[in-house]
Amino acid sequence: MKKILLVSAIGLSLSLLSGCANKPVVRYGDAAAIETTDINFGSTDLQKIANEMTESLLQSPVVGTMTANKRPIVFVDEVKNKTSEHIDTESLTDSVSTQLLRSGKFRFVDMGKVTAVREQLNYQNDGGLVDPNKAIQFGKQVGAEYMLYGNLSSIVKTNADKSDVYYKFTMRLMDLESGLVEWADETEIRKTRSKEMVGW
């Protein structure tokens, strides 16, 4: 009887112990929380760059004059990524353009959707299925007046105890008619990883 009790006690404790083993847990977190998983380009860097660039652009006196009586039409060119990392720079420009659109001061044309728009207009005008009087006509779109573009570069230094990454993001707004750069700004990020003694 004692043996049975002993065996069942061991079995129970083993099953309890296995219940304490590592299990994947899913939690929702704050999307704007500072992320320091590693030294590479992360969500905090993307948010910092997008927020600072948008703020700087909207507060610029030149842009204030530009947007005083009208909403200029802007197209966003790609950001040149000159770092070693594969960074989704489209996500960066999406964040900037979305925040600018939400400010209500600018309007945007999306060059990434030109092929899809052309296919749709071809369907409406040549497909024979859409009422020709209601089909969207070719040649009615408005062209962009300004181009927004940028560069992202990094300097990385590493030794046995320390890693240092410096990111510099530059953004410019060019008047397509005159070729003048109406606004430019840059933001810097420095991230350092070093070995630290873990204390209580």
Partner 1 sequence: MKSLLVCIMLFMGYSSPALADYQRNEAVPVDKVLFGKVRSIRQITQSELIEDRNHGWEVFGGALIGGTIGNQFGSGSGRVLTTILGAMLGGSLADEGKQKQQQVTLQLVELIVAIDDGSEFMVVQDFDPNMVFHAKDKIRMIYLADGSVRIDKQM
User: Judged by CB under 8 A, which of 39, 58, 109, 176 binds partner 1?
Assistant: 39
Nearest distance from C-beta of residue 188 to partner 1, angstroms? 15
User: Judged by CB under 8 A, which of 73, 101, 156, 176 binds partner 1?
Assistant: 156
Stretch 158-177: interaction string toward partner 1, x if CB under 8 A: x----x-x------------
Nearest distance from C-beta of residue 187 to partner 1, angstroms? 17
Per-position DSSP letters for 86-97, written without gaps between them: ---HHHHHHHHH
CB 97 within 8 A of CB 109: no
Contacting residues for 71 by C-beta, under 8 A, at least 6 apart: 104, 105, 106, 107
Nearest distance from C-beta of residue 85 to partner 1, angstroms? 5
Which regions of the chain does DSSP assign to beta strands (E)? 73-81, 107-109, 146-158, 162-175, 181-194
Contact positions toward partner 1, by CB under 8 A? 39-41, 78, 80-86, 88-90, 154-158, 163, 165
